[in-house]
Copies of this chain bind each other. A is one copy, B any other.
Amino acid sequence: MLKLSKEEQIFLKNFTDLKSKSGSHSPSILTLLNDEGTGKKIEVDACFLSNPYATELFIEFFEKELVTTKLLNQIIEAYPPQNREIALHLSKTINVPADYIFIGNGAIEIIQAVIHNFVKGKIVVNIPTFSSYYEYVRVKDDIVFYQLSKESNYCLDVQHYIDFVKKESPDTIVLINPNNPNGDYINKEVLHMMLTELSFVKNIILDESFIHFAYEDLNLSMIDSYNLMNDFPNLIVIKSMAKDFGIAGLRAGYGIMQPEKVNYLLNHGYLWNVSGLTDYFFKLYSREDFQRRYDVVRKKYIMNTLMFLNELSRTPNIKVYPSRANFALVELLDGSDSREFMIKALYSYGIYVRECSDKIGLDGQFIRVASRSFEENVLILNAFKDILKSEKN
């Protein structure tokens, strides 16, 4: 079992104070970096679920096309284009009619919009999950949790889930695919069967924010569920751009839903809801030169992640849960406390991981580790091995 040094204990206190000031979720790395008492320690942000190679790619285009030109001034000064206009660009890229597309200031804005505007009764949320899916629900009595079973590695037991939903008969269900925080992936065939069985549910929210990291074939072909929109009008697909494109700071996401829903949202809000830089990103994403480059960094990162998780799973005293996303849920098996593990990794190794003590639906001590660049993953692996070995002393 892990023990903290005196310095690490002081650091834990500082960290806790900072967290209480900065809102829910983990303190952002920017906050930590700006804080004298803590930030100087961070070397690898393994809290942060994004493809660093894609960030590099975006920055390359940004510097080439914006920084050395007058376009940046225009993007900062002028009102950005509105939702429907950006949807036109994206439409060609993802092959979905523009009137099905709602552009969001990050996926989180779309989650909020859908929950506040379309969820009108009981909502089934699988736990563990991304907490906004229940935090944003205004009537707490409407929330019904479906506990993913630890015995099944927190993977969805599909038939059990279908029976549960049929019994509960909710207004809305939420599926995150791959799931956050564990990375469990429902394949296309199973998903189609589930949607067929659950066609009576008014809204099926399918969050595909991590889908660019999933794969079903050796070509690592890109997956999405947009072709299901015609057969399943109750489907609402939500997609973040923060993870796959490594641009969380820009705020960009989209939702795919029936045109009536898009119209309802745009008729009551969401004027200029994304920045000029987000618009620039969506324009870039519609360009073939960018898409070709992106496909390379996406596949490179998937393979990088595969190697990393494979190697991580060989570390003693932890269990790495099966994942087809760019992160893994890791259980500490020797009685160590997840917050203390996080603090030791950060203070003594500069590795910032997400500890999961605030995640409901997890039974045990868990952290979530993101895959980063190859070099950063080596640092993460070495730190883990070192911490878990040093415990014996």
Contact = CB atoms under 8 A, between A and B. Distances in A.
Contacts of A273: 105-106, 108-109, 251
A10 interface: no
Contact of A274 (B74, B251, B272): B251
A22 interface: yes
A77 B21 contact: no
A269 B85 CA distance: 25
A52 B74 CA distance: 11
Nearest to A270: B112
Contacts of A85: 21-23, 28, 31
A105 B105 contact: yes
B82 A24 contact: yes
Interface of A: 21-25, 28-31, 33, 45, 48, 50, 52, 55, 58-59, 62, 67, 72-85, 88, 105-106, 108-109, 112, 116, 132, 135-136, 138, 242, 246-251, 266-279
25 contacts: A22-B84, A23-B83, A28-B79, A28-B82, A30-B75, A30-B279, A31-B81, A31-B85, A48-B78, A50-B77, A59-B72, A75-B249, A77-B249, A79-B242, A79-B248, A80-B248, A105-B105, A105-B273, A106-B272, A112-B270, A116-B116, A251-B272, A251-B273, A275-B277, A277-B277
